[in-house]
Structure 1
Amino acid sequence: MNDELETIHGIMRGARFATVTTRGAKGELFSRPLAVLDHDFDGHVWFFTQDPSPKTEDVAGDPHVNVAYADGASHVSLAGTATVTRDAALIDRFWNPWAEAWFEGGREDPTVALLEVAADSVEYWHVDKPGVVRAFEVAKALVTGSAPDVGESHTVTL
């Protein structure tokens, strides 16, 4: 895995929840928190979801989504295409006690599904400096008129 993907994966792994934004039938945007599932980032991310649900209806109408992660001061914004799957092997791979709590019938609940997002691009902001250093950089930027050096921001096309 290259350095950028390692940075992205580290931020994603540090987040407990991600915000998934879908587009509704009238073009409105809906953002919903979903629990992050632990796996190595390979351009795809998965979330447990109920199907049917308003989220899966949105994806059926327009599969383009955004997924945002935050780990402290670092952030990842992933743009991609979502699909809903009931692949039993994938569900078994990701099943955990947190998922159990969200489905009344547990693993056998007929609404258990995964929302899979295939990333097209990922933008990330990685802040790797302590808060005191970030404050100094901002103060220095105000005095010098330059941009503060508090971390890095990159866009990765997948």
Structure 2
Amino acid sequence: MADHDEKFWDRLDDINAGMLGLKSDARFIPMSHYAERDERALWFITAKGTDLVDALQGGAQEGIHLVSDGGEGLYARVSGRLALSDDRAKLDELWNAVASSWFEDGKQDPDVQLVRMDLTDAEVWATGGKVSFLYEIAKSKVTGSKPDMGEHYTLSF
């Protein structure tokens, strides 16, 4: 299991974004995530006044972050508790050129809002990536066998 955990975090570190939403709502939006392996958390930088932030004003809620990246060979449904955060030190740590593109006044912009997701579990499909996928498809055509598409497992955090 530790191998699965390590593989999940290593691949997630190399992926920039996914689709984030509340478990109670079918609407998901693209969001960049920032993985905090030691704390078993994901961080998101978003704007005040969004539907997600408005929904979290009343307190933490169950959320889902969907990640799909064929190049890294990771497909995952990550679940956890989403909550608003005013941690300025964390914002300083996470701030980057991508985040600054969305906020006119940089990290001092009054619309900047951090959201933290404390992970509870993840359902993961880990493949060998694009090259491995093509190889497995070609091999299946030659041998008549089903392609090996990697591992499917669940992690609890």
TM-score (norm 2): 0.82
Distance 1:132 1:148, change over 3 A: closer
Match of 1:65 among 56, 63, 66: 63
Structure 2 partner of 1:91: 91
In 1, the alpha carbon distance for the partners of 2:100 and 2:43 equals 16
Conserved? CA contact 1:11–1:71, under 8 Å: no
Runs ≥4 residues deviating over 6 A: none
In 2, the alpha carbon distance for the partners of 1:8 and 1:45 equals 13
Deviation at 1:109, TM superposition (A): 0.6
Conserved? CA contact 1:11–1:69, under 8 Å: no
Structure 2 partner of 1:11: 11
Letter of the structure 2 residue corresponding to residue 134 of structure 1: E
Q: 1:7-45 deviations in whole A, cap 9, x for unaligned?
A: 11122122221110225xxx5421000113255464100
Match of 1:35 among 29, 32, 35: 32
Deviation at 1:139, TM superposition (A): 5.1
Conserved? CA contact 1:9–1:41, under 8 Å: no
Deviation at 1:138, TM superposition (A): 5.3
Match of 1:55 among 48, 52, 56: 52
In 2, the alpha carbon distance for the partners of 1:81 and 1:56 equals 13
In 1, the alpha carbon distance for the partners of 2:64 and 2:116 equals 12
Deviation at 1:46, TM superposition (A): 0.2
Conserved? CA contact 1:12–1:71, under 8 Å: no
Flag structure 2 segments of 5+ consecutive residues without an equivalent.
Answer: none
**Secondary structure of 1:29's aligned partner:** coil
Deviation at 1:134, TM superposition (A): 2.3
In 1, the alpha carbon distance for the partners of 2:106 and 2:49 equals 16
Letter of the structure 1 residue corresponding to residue 54 of structure 2: E
Letter of the structure 2 residue corresponding to residue 135 of structure 1: I
TM-score (norm 1): 0.82
Deviation at 1:52, TM superposition (A): 2.9
Distance 1:140 1:45, change over 3 A: farther
Structure 2 partner of 1:128: 128
Q: Note the aligned Cα RMSD (angstroms).
A: 2.5
Flag structure 1 segments of 5+ consecutive residues without an equivalent.
Answer: none
User: How many aligned positions are there?
Assistant: 152
In 1, the alpha carbon distance for the partners of 2:152 and 2:63 equals 21
In 2, the alpha carbon distance for the partners of 1:131 and 1:4 equals 19
